[in-house]
Amino acid sequence: MDETAPPDLTPLDPRYKRVLRIGGAIHAAVFLIAATVAEIALDGWTGLFWIPALIIGALLVFGLPGRRYRSRGYRLGADELRVVKGVWFHSDITVPLGRVQHIDIGQGPIERANGLATLVLHTAGTQNASVSLEGLAHEDAAAMRDAVREVMRSLMR
């Protein structure tokens, strides 16, 4: 039941797969630690907790990142940005650039180590008021920000 991104979308930077994998590894480590604690607390190493945790951890590190990466994409059109993401809960959001109020570029520590950035477009209002696009190369994000600004300026004129 994998909903892969439609073919006319631009894929994200390949390094983003590694960032997703690191995130998955952190979650997997939490699972394994919890399972280890449970195994020690309920004495007798039965593997009742450890084996499922190991399977989930393996999925988080090796299975899911690839699928999550493939499910994501974006397209910057002449006057709109479309962002597609989600394996199970799939979302496909389109923002006309004429509605953008301001733009952020964010970088978390793992993103910075891999030279990636997140582009966030803010519109007025509350629901879906900010649309974030993760997994762009930092220089691409900056170029997109400038392009969006240019479109905003020409639309306002």
Residue 38 in tokens: 């449970």
Q: What pairing do the DSSP bridges indicate for beta strands 80-85 and 130-137?
A: unpaired
Write out the binding residues for another protein, residues 40-79 only, by CB under 8 A: 79
Applying CB under 8 A, among 92, 103, 118, 137 the residue interacting with another protein is 92
**What residue has token string 């496909």?**
92
Q: Which stretch binds another protein (CB under 8 A): 19-27, 60-68, 111-119, 123-131?
A: 123-131
Give the bridge partners for 130, in sequence order.
122
Applying CB under 8 A, among 95, 136, 141, 148 the residue interacting with another protein is 95
14-23 burial, b at 16+ Cβ within 10 Å, e below that, comes to: eebbbbbbeb
Closer residue to another protein (CB): 109 or 127? 127
Closer residue to another protein (CB): 36 or 123? 123
Give the bridge partners for 121, in sequence order.
103, 131
Residue 17 · residue 58 · CB < 8 Å? no
- d(Cα 154, Cα 150) in Å, to the nearest integer? 6
Instruction: Work out whether 129 is an interface residue with another protein (CB under 8 A).
Output: yes
Instruction: Work out whether 19 is an interface residue with another protein (CB under 8 A).
Output: no
Residue 146 in tokens: 């400038």
Instruction: Work out whether 132 is an interface residue with another protein (CB under 8 A).
Output: no
Q: Which stretch binds another protein (CB under 8 A): 10-18, 41-49, 98-106, 112-120?
A: 98-106
Kindly list the residues in this chain that would bind another protein in the complex (CB under 8 A). Answer: 1, 3, 79-80, 86, 88-96, 98-101, 123-129, 131, 155-156
